[in-house]
Structure 1
Amino acid sequence: MVDIISNFPDSILCFILSFLPTKQVVATSVLSKRWKLLWRFVPSLDFHFGTPYIDYMDLYYFLNFCETYQPLHRLRFTSCGLYDFLSMETCIKTALKISGRLEHLDINLDWFVQLPSAVFSCKTLVVLKLAIIAPKNISLVDLPLLKILHLKSVRSFKCEDLKRFLSGCLNLEDLEVGSGLAPKSAANTSEKFPKLLKLKRANIHTHLVPLELIKNVEVLVTDRIYKDDLVFDLHNLLQLELTRFNLSTKCIIIVFNRKKKLVAEGNEALLPCPDPIPTCISLHLKTCRLNNFRGSVVHLQFAEYIMKNANYLRTMKFRYACNSLRRHDLTSHISSCMKSSDTCTLSFE
């Protein structure tokens, strides 16, 4: 058998190893004499703690040991539970210290681990993903190169904190804001949020983030859109995904243009959109995904409207939330609906 991997230069091998957990990377040192020291030059560290019983002193020494070798570009900490929160914070600080040019930081730990303030002034960061963690101090945020920001279940994170955070990373292209953030109030209007002119993708809960903030995106993933969010225009929209297609409460499902509204309230019939059809539907929309699709009158009217008027629609996806018999009937009905795009493909899950 030909050994193709051994013909790769060290730089390629280190790149491949950078996608593996650090424990597996270090284990490659037993393969051969060439591999014995190769792991030390992998520019990433990925720690996954499957147990709360962690020897933090060994981890601390390991991080300092790595400082003498390859500069760290990617760092990830993941844990299912922690007991020694202060030691974990110290390890994060140490990792930030040894990283000459940290570009990717992914931390998913525990509610009681406080994220060091040094994270928010790491000017080389391009990707920052935080989940199940509490920021310690975000009075100063300076992340000029940050392009991807994902915030999921961030403890004690208020709307004012989000505004301050976004003000320090104006070059964002991808934004995700999940649960854990305090809902926006009437006083927290969109005018107070910074303008994210380069934002292309957003995955948000609309009761947390004003839609005016993400009106220029090409890809929008959201749960629902409320009446208070009527002042926005999705003029660049190419892909739309509704994660919870639920009309049990009086809410606005989607508004494509402040003068041309496609509105659904409660269980009332869908209001027709006047001519001309909004350009974000007729000329731009290419992908539409409807999750939690139950096949109510409003659901079907919304789906039919999109398929009928989206001239460049390539993919229409449905994720059902009903029994198999109902799914069969819905699939037959939807498949027979008129589609203005000849290249549109229907997908059912």
Structure 2
Amino acid sequence: MVDRISALPDDILCHILSFLPTQHTIATSLLSKRWKSLWYSVPSLYFENQSNLQKNSTAYHWFQNFIYATIRARDWHQPIRSFCLKYVVESNFRPSNYDIDEWVKAATQRGGLKNLHIEVTFPNPMDQTIIYLSGSNISCKTLVDLKLMGLSVQVYSFVDLPSLKTLHLEDVGFDYLQCLRELLSGCPILEYMHVNGTYCPGDDYDTLNKNNFKGLPKLVRADIYSLDDLDVLLEAICNVEFLATDESLKDIPVFPNLTHVELAWGWGMNWHSVLTMLKQCPKLQNFGLNMELMSANLVWISPKFVPECLSSQLRKCSITNYDSTRFQLHFAKYIMQNSRVLQTMTIYTEPSSSLQKKFEMIKELSIYPRTCELLFK
């Protein structure tokens, strides 16, 4: 049988191997002489610990030494395009701050690094301990995509990420908000930012000046959830076209470019903040509201104004976890009756809703005058 795979050019084989964890990539060196040295040229390093590497110190140190040995074995002049570390902590054995810093330093110093992903997860959040990444090691001219999860970042020096387009922060802590400021200030062409569970325990948010954040003029999309205070980021994200958040905003600025908003009803949110958001988005075309955490005691007060976006821009509106309470009904009615160009109003009912209840919802909403298509899902 002809070995068609081994006949492929080195660059294609290396590209294929780049999608595998590095442990598996190195294992291909046993296939034949053709594959023996191929793994040295794979442009990505992807380390993922396995369950059997967490049970005792010997297994943990083997994994730790394996990462160091793999990095040293590569030709120093061979760039590392992607470095990914996924580590699930299930015991007392976890990567140290020094190790992570050294691994990141080795990846960035080779030149050409485009993707850096570090994910540390704790199955039991109560067992989580802080693992730091020093900000001095995330300054990289070529980095395009940065994803950090389950650790804290210390920014001690000027951050320079002039090529970064995607920033993903999940359960990431900063000692002080100034660290987050420095990180964002070093990303002048950032296009997409995802923040979930980021916190800065060392700061007093009531005394912070949100204007200290530099703008992100290239930012197109921002997904921001479970942040201590979104208002401190408003000046940085005010030019986005797409915003998804569960935060209650206090001082909502005008979003001149915003065309798509997804709001998840978070703690402290009220109808006034929702309607003010609509008012401050004159170009809004798509609006989604998830009511999963909505309080049953809220009272709807019919507003005396109609946001500009309802009069001339809004095309699509969706309401998720709709259960036909009076205030939800009034809101849906308000949108349908005041939107001049609305094409579809989509209602996503609660999973527990019976067919009879869904039928009652449809009948209840259908009696109101509208120009849009009413969809129930």
TM-score bin, normalised by smaller chain? 0.7 to 0.9
CA deviation after TM superposition for structure 1 residue 213, in Å: 2.9
> Any residues of structure 2 matched to 1:127-138 within 5 Å, and which?
127-138=145-156
**Residue 25, structure 1, aligned to residue 54, structure 2:** no
Are 2:252 and 1:222 aligned?
A: no
Q: For 1:144-159, list aligned pairs within 5 A.
A: 144-159=162-177
1:200 aligns with 2:220: yes
Per the alignment, do residues 303 and 58 of structure 1 end up closer, same or farther by CA in structure 2, a change over 3 Å counting? same
Deviations 1:3-47 (A, max 9, x none): 775665432333233233222333333445433433322211111
Distance 2:361 2:11 in 1: 50
Specify the code of the residue in structure 2 equivalent to 1:199.
L
RMSD: 4.0
Counterparts of 1:27 and 1:331, CA distance in 2: 59
Match of 2:126 in 1: none
Q: Identity of counterpart residues, as a percentage? A: 32
Figure out how many residues of one structure are paired with residues of the other and give that number.
342
**How many angstroms does 1:177 deviate by?**
2.0
Give the AA of the match of 2:188.
Answer: L
Structure 1 pair 23–126 and aligned structure 2 pair: CA distance change class (3 A): same
Distance in 1 (CA, whole Å) between partners of 2:61 and 2:264 is 37
Amino acid at match of 2:96: F
Query: Could you tell me which of 140, 147, 151 is aligned with 1:122?
Result: 140
Q: What TM-score do the two structures reach when normalised by structure 2?
A: 0.74
2:255 matches 1:234: yes
1:298 aligns with 2:327: yes
Q: What is aligned with 2:348?
A: 318
CA shift digits 1:286-343 (9 cap, x unpaired): 665655544433334444555662837679573736544587347735985777566x
- Structure exhibiting the larger radius of gyration computed from Cα positions: 2
Distance 2:228 2:272 in 1: 11
1:269 aligns with 2:287: no
Change over 3 Å in CA distance of 1:40–1:209 after alignment to 2: same
**1:170 is aligned to 2:188:** yes
- Once residues 156 and 343 of structure 2 are traced to their aligned partners in structure 1, the CA distance between those partners, rounded to angstroms, is 42
Structure 1: any 5+ residue segments left out of the alignment? none
Matched, 1:278 2:308: yes
1:75 aligns with 2:95: no
Aligned residues of 1:174 and 1:201 also touching (Cα < 8 A): yes
Partner of 2:290: none
Deviation at 1:150, TM superposition (A): 1.5
SS at 2:15's partner residue?
A: helix
CA contact (8 A) 1:173 1:198 kept: yes
Moved more, 53-62 or 85-94: 85-94
2:114 to 100, 103, 116: 103
Gaps of 5+ in 2: 55-59, 122-128, 288-293
Quick one: distance in 1 between partners of 2:370 and 2:239?
Answer: 26
Rounded Cα–Cα distance in structure 1 between residues aligned with 2:345 and 2:14 = 38
- Superposed displacement of residue 221, structure 1: 0.9
Task: Give the drift of 1:214.
Answer: 1.6
Shift of 1:133: 0.8
Q: CA deviation at 1:66?
A: 2.1
CA contact (8 A) 2:215 2:235 kept: no
Paired residues of 2:133 and 2:152 also in contact (CA < 8 A)? yes
- Separation in structure 1 between the aligned mates of residue 70 and residue 95 of structure 2, nearest angstrom: 17
SS at match of 1:198: coil
Which residue, out of 332, 336, 340, partners 2:362? Answer: 332
Structure 2 Cα separation of the partners of residues 168 and 249 of structure 1:
35
Q: CA deviation at 1:67?
A: 3.7
- Structure 1 residue matching 2:34: 3-state secondary structure: coil
Structure 2 CA distance for partners of 1:157 and 1:259, relative to 1, 3 Å: same
Structure 2 partner of 1:141: 159
Which amino acid is 1:240 matched to?
A: V
Match of 2:47 in 1: 47
Q: Contact 1:244/1:291 (CA < 8 Å) preserved in 2?
A: no
Q: How big is each residue's C-alpha offset from its partner over 1:56-113, in whole Å with a ceiling of 9 and x where there is no partner?
A: 2232111111244741011111111143514533542453355321111111126432
C-alpha contact (below 8 Å) 1:67/1:98 kept by paired residues: no
